[in-house]
Structure formats: C-alpha cells, structure tokens
Amino acid sequence: MARHDGAVAIVTGASRGIGLGIAERLVAEGARVVVTARKAEALAEAVDRLGGPAKALGIAGNAADVAHQDEVISAARDTFGGLDYLVNNTGINPVYGPILDSDLEAARKIMEVNVLSAFSWTQKAVAAGLGGTDTPGAIVNVASIAGLGATGAIGWYAVSKAALIHLTVELGYQLGPDVRVNAVAPAVVKTRFAEALYAGREEQVAAAYPMKRLGVPEDIAGAVSFLLSRDAGWITGQTLVVDGGVTLGGAL
C-alpha cells in the first residue's frame, strides 16, 4: 500500500510552487487532495496535473476568508468522504527592506494571511473532525528559516513565520493525541514566490549551502509527506528545518 492510501488532504496555496509540489507528492502516495489558491484558472491547471477530479478538487478563494475555509472543508468531506490532513502553505511577503519602513497595514496583512489564517484553518478542520477513528489527524504548517533569526530585509515575513512556528508548538501541545501538528522551515526554494532572492545570481546564492544547490518543491514535499504519515506518528509540535544545510553556518 502507498503511504497515504485513502487519505484526504487540504493543501492551501497549491496552484504552483511548494504547495503544488506537496499536493503532487500526496497524490502519488495514494491521497486525494483539495487544493486552494486565488486564481481559478491556475487551479484548474493544477487539478489536471494532479490527475483530474478523481484525485483532486480545486476551489478558488482568499485563504484568509473564513467563508472560503468553510466551503473548502465541507467540499473535502462531501467530495472525498472525510478529511485527514491539512497543509497550511499559503503565505505572502509584500514588503522588502528595513522593518521600520513597513506600512502598518502591510504588516497586519502579513500576520493575517501567514499566521491567523493558518490558525483559522486549523480551528475549523479540527471542529469538522480532522482525522479518523484509527489514526490521528495531521497538520503541517509551512514556515521558513526566516522565522529562526534576523533577516534584515524581510522582517515582517520573518516575524510571521516565527509566530507560525510557535503556533505549531502550542497546537501540538494542546491537540494531542487526536491531532498531530508539525511544521517545515525551508530555506530558499526555486519558486516564483522566492525568485527575488536568487534571480540572476543562483550560483552565488547556492554557494553558501553545504549541499551547493537551492531547494526545489520536491524537497519540501518529501518532508511534509513524512510528517503527515504514520512514520511520524510520535512526532508533534516540531519544526523540521529543510535548508540544504545553510543554517549550519548561521546564515539565513
């Protein structure tokens, strides 16, 4: 049997990049997935890539919108018969530069989408009965190594990811044994979202990594799949750093 045979997962922010990579890995290992993103057209393409309606359902909307969250959770249960996993992958970073130059409304938006949205998704999924009678439900939050120290340039994004990491700790502590909650903290992964961090200088950026390359979505997908699976059945409240070794030398 595949690792996730019969499981149903919601993956937010999954029309491309890390989210789509996670959804692809889960489907390849036997799960059916509900994927979300803002743009319906991009989601339709993602569903086709995931194997069509037998394997995936796409629902467009704002990840921070509670009505959208309710719709997605209901659709997962109605379409695929349950809900076992939640992956909170949606994140934004609209500002770059010294943190004191940040607009207060932008800071609020970052915290709303990157932290409060993940909390709300979790709250609603647990209330809807996340998990089955034989195995606990499992949640993975996609954080970042930016949440582990100072960045100097993406401060509010880093603050939000630090908060998400601690939210993972609190939820892991409080939701066991019925639901496990863990996080992954990637370094730079080659996606459109992170392109500004390496475009035009990928070789130079990768030189700081002991593995001598930047991450790809498949690197993060494998870690998420493990944390959702029975293989991680005695792990909760933890953040797995997936960074090609870059933080070993103190770099973010």
- Does any domain span residue 184? yes
Predicted pLDDT of residue 133: 66
Read off the tokens for 42: 């991009």
How many domains does the chain divide into? 1
Query: With contact defined as beta carbons under 8 Å apart, do 110 and 153 qualify?
Result: no
| H or E stretch at 184 | strand 179-186
- Does any domain span residue 248? no
- Does any domain span residue 191? yes
pLDDT tens digits, 89-140: 999 999 999 999 999 999 999 999 999 999 999 999 999 999 876 778 999 9
Domain that holds residue 110: 8-242
- Does any domain span residue 252? no
- Does any domain span residue 249? no
pTM above 0.85, yes or no: yes
CATH of the domain at 212: 3.40.50.720
CA atoms of 98 and 102, how far apart (whole Å):
7
* Known catalytic residue at 157: yes
- Does any domain span residue 170? yes
- Does any domain span residue 70? yes
- As a whole number, mean pLDDT of residues 158-165 equals 98
- Does any domain span residue 102? yes
- In this structure, the number of other CB atoms found within 10 A of the CB of residue 105 comes to 8
Residues 25, 26, 32, 34: is their CA dihedral positive or negative? Answer: negative
Catalytic residue from among 85, 96, 157, 209: 157
